[in-house]
Amino acid sequence: MHRDDILPLLVSLGITGLLIWGMVYFVNEWWGRLPKSVALVLFILLAVLVIGYPIYALARWSDRYLARVQEARRQGRPDPE
């Protein structure tokens, strides 16, 4: 892991934590008041958001890391760690 990756990792973990906290709060306080069809649609959207965002952030990080490794190899330097 490169030093420049620490801040995006922390931001990603923070946002993921906030999304999970928000989802738990929403389900505990508001879920019972929603019609069943609206609850189903919201459940699907929340699941995609909570599961998909960390995967997307990890994919972006891996693309940046791969670009750094390829650039280092082109210049004849050892791979960044």
What local confidence, expressed as pLDDT, does residue 1 receive?
Answer: 66
pTM for the whole structure: 0.49
> Which of 52, 44, 22 minimizes the C-alpha distance to 36?
44
Cβ 50 vs Cβ 22: under 8 Å: no
What gap in Å lies between CA 60 and CA 53, rounded to an integer? 11
- Parse the chain into domains and list their residue ranges: 3-70
Confidence (pLDDT) at 81: 62
pLDDT tens, residue order, the chain (81 aa): 678 888 988 998 999 899 889 888 988 998 899 999 998 998 899 889 889 988 998 899 899 888 888 888 888 877 666
